[in-house]
């Protein structure tokens, strides 16, 4: 099964969480610099963005993995 495009992932986030649904993609070079829990994943999906805090619902190496992770929680 092919992974989603970024446009399809944004549409899925809007479908799940409404106007507050967001997605974020980090390239592998950005992941090497970042440290912490999210550093190893390039795709994150969120139900809201509160102030400067980014609340992560799901994460993965592909958009499908990130949405599957969000469903599991």
Which tokens sit at 38?
Answer: 């999210």
Q: Whole-prediction pTM value?
A: 0.75
Q: Is residue 7 part of a domain?
A: no
Q: Is residue 10 part of a domain?
A: no
Comparing 10 with 32, which gets the higher pLDDT?
10
Q: Residue 32: pLDDT above 90? A: no
Q: In the prediction, which pLDDT does 57 show? A: 86
Interatomic CA distance for residues 66 and 23, integer angstroms = 10
A 10 A CB-CB count for 20 gives 13
Total domains in the chain come to: 1
Find the domain containing 37 and state its range: 21-72
A 10 A CB-CB count for 10 gives 16
Q: In the prediction, which pLDDT does 6 show? A: 94
Question: What average pLDDT does the segment 63-70 reach?
Answer: 93
Q: Is residue 9 part of a domain?
A: no
Interatomic CA distance for residues 32 and 42, integer angstroms = 11
Q: Is residue 68 part of a domain?
A: yes
């Amino acid at each position: 099964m092919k992974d989603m495009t970024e446009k399809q992932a944004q549409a899925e986030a809007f479908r799940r969480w409404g106007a507050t649904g967001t997605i974020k993609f980090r390239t592998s070079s950005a992941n090497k610099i970042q440290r912490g829990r999210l550093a190893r994943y390039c795709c994150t999906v969120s139900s809201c963005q509160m102030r400067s805090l980014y609340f992560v619902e799901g994460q993965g190496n592909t958009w499908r993995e990130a949405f599957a992770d969000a469903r599991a929680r």
